Structure 1
């Protein structure tokens, strides 16, 4: 445990990420009021992906973790995407 390399993240970085997350949150709320048709949901999902990336990278310190932990997180997201695709295919081709 003492051999682990510690990192110190300044509070300013957390404040900047928090402000970016707040701007993205209000932007994702605002995009729902703009009539974009089918792209409204895609835009809100894009904001959600960026926000989850920021939270995982900075607040959960994934940026400073070992590579195998990043691989495990990517594996979980891959499984999640596969489950979503299977669910949407079932919904799309249901009689």
Structure 2
């Protein structure tokens, strides 16, 4: 009874690189608050958050090595998130 399980071995070096990237992005998102970007401050913070979440999903949650339908479900969740954010920004934009 052999199962078709494909194990992937990820080197620790890759985890360290992703960890350093996440730390740099975290400090950059903290630093972006001191820069006056006006109406783009929230968008910049959300951009940093999206990049960090993609890194975590891809490497730490092993989405890179998962089945395609799971990737599709995660993409669907991100699409819903984008729709909610766009609706929120439109509400904020057209307030009286």
RMSD of aligned alpha carbons: 1.9
Q: TM-score, normalised by structure 1?
A: 0.86
How many residues are matched? 95
Structure 2 CA distance for aligned equivalents of residues 85 and 42 of structure 1: 11
Partner SS state of residue 38, structure 1: helix
Structure 1 CA distance for aligned equivalents of residues 85 and 79 of structure 2: 10
2:53 is matched with 52
Structure 2 CA distance for aligned equivalents of residues 46 and 92 of structure 1: 19
Matching of residues 1-95 of structure 1 within 5 Å: 2-90=3-91, 92-93=93-94
Structure 2 CA distance for aligned equivalents of residues 22 and 90 of structure 1: 33
Q: Structure 1 residues 75, 60: CA separation in 2 closer, same or farther (over 3 Å shift)? A: same
Structure 1 spans left out of the alignment, 5+ residues: none
Q: TM-score, normalised by structure 2?
A: 0.85
Q: Deviations over 1:11-61 (max 9, x none)?
A: 111011000000000000001001111122221111111101100000000
